[in-house]
Amino acid sequence: MLVDYHTHTNLCKHADGVAEDYVRKALELGFDEVGCSDHSPLPNGFDPEHRMTLDEFAQFYRPMVDDVQKKFDKKIKVRFGIEADYLPGAEKYMKKFLEENDFDFVIGSVHFLGDWGFDNFKNVSRYEEKDVYEVYVEYFTTLRDAAASGMFDVVGHLDVVKVFGYRPNRDYDGVLREAMKAIKEHDLVVEINTAGLRKPIGEIYPSVKILEIIKEMKIPLTLGSDSHTPGDVGRDFDLAVELVRKYGDGRITVFDKRQRKEVSI
């Protein structure tokens, strides 16, 4: 069984195409399921260039997913998802938003450290102004808190902090392990996200080092391309599948109304 649970549309303001384009690509590839997971709204108009508003969610995103679910019902299972940012201080807003909607799955991601969108090409120069070790500590501490929040089902691009190739010159295993323990204790799934291969780092998220911890802790896996154009649906999944076989016993997690089960790949 093959799924791609991480896709975006033009509603996120930095992707191309509509949900049907992504579904048709997944169908062409012979996938069993595909998930729609555009970026969630955030309070007070935060980061408007990378996400839909609440009005756009209600007027366009939800109806668009409804339409493709009905249209392709006999051909492929389309799951209604969202990529929800963990932003300290916005937890009440996000929890309410997630509870009010009948998502099949929620990807929890960390894209901001304070007001710094650290994985945005426009902001890469700020790495030069910082102690990269401290950036990694802050990122994995925030990821730990995200996992412990109870809001999410899937951890998105777990080590995205490496996106531009900046690596700390000190060991950060302690804070990494704390984040992984929180993921395990709060029963989250980790996606193998192939988008890192299309970024400066040129690596899948998460790293082999983290996948070894995942295997050790028996944390379940799922698959996502993080596609922002329909042509990237399922991209490099041959590599992802091999990682699932090696680090996830050949099993992935699928979702329905935020209930999950493991299936053989």
Torsion on CA atoms 80, 255, 192, 243, rounded to nearest 10: -140
Over residues 139-155, the pLDDT tens digits come to 999 999 999 999 999 99
Give the rounded percent of residues in the chain with a pLDDT score beyond 90.
100
Over residues 88-98, the pLDDT tens digits come to 999 999 999 99
The dihedrals phi and psi of 200, each to the nearest 5 degrees, come to -55, -35
The domain ranges of the chain are 3-264
Give the domain 3-264 fold. Answer: TIM Barrel (3.20.20)
Return the SS3 of 245.
helix
Distance CA 25, CA 153 (A): 25
pLDDT at position 126, please?
Answer: 97
Average pLDDT, the chain: 98
pLDDT at position 229, please?
Answer: 98
Over residues 185-238, the pLDDT tens digits come to 999 999 999 999 999 999 999 999 999 999 999 999 999 999 999 999 999 999
pLDDT at position 263, please?
Answer: 97
Packing angle of the helix pair 173-185, 208-217 (nearest 10 deg): 40
Q: Hey, how many other C-beta atoms are within 10 angstroms of the C-beta on 217?
A: 14
Q: Can you list the positions of beta strands (E) in the chain?
A: 3-4, 33-36, 77-85, 105-109, 112-113, 116-117, 154-155, 189-193, 221-224, 251-256, 259-264
- Give 121's pLDDT tier (boundaries 50, 70, 90): very high
pLDDT at position 188, please?
Answer: 98
Give the rounded percent of residues in the chain with a pLDDT score beyond 70.
100
**pTM attached to this predicted model:** 0.97
Looking at the DSSP assignment, which residues form a beta bridge with residue 190? 155, 221
Q: Looking at residues 242-252, what average pLDDT do you find?
A: 98
Distance CA 190, CA 202 (A): 19
pLDDT at position 223, please?
Answer: 98
Closest CA to 14 of 44, 57, 46, 48: 48
Torsion on CA atoms 85, 167, 125, 138, rounded to nearest 10: 40
| Separation in Å, CA 39 to CA 36, 156, 179 | 10, 12, 23
DSSP secondary structure string, 177-219? Answer: HHHHHHHHHTT-EEEEEGGGGGSTT--PBSPHHHHHHHHHHT-
Q: Looking at residues 153-165, what average pLDDT do you find?
A: 98
Distance CA 200, CA 221 (A): 24
pLDDT at position 257, please?
Answer: 98
Determine contact, residues 140/175, Cβ cutoff 8 Å. yes
Over residues 45-74, the pLDDT tens digits come to 999 999 999 999 999 999 999 999 999 999
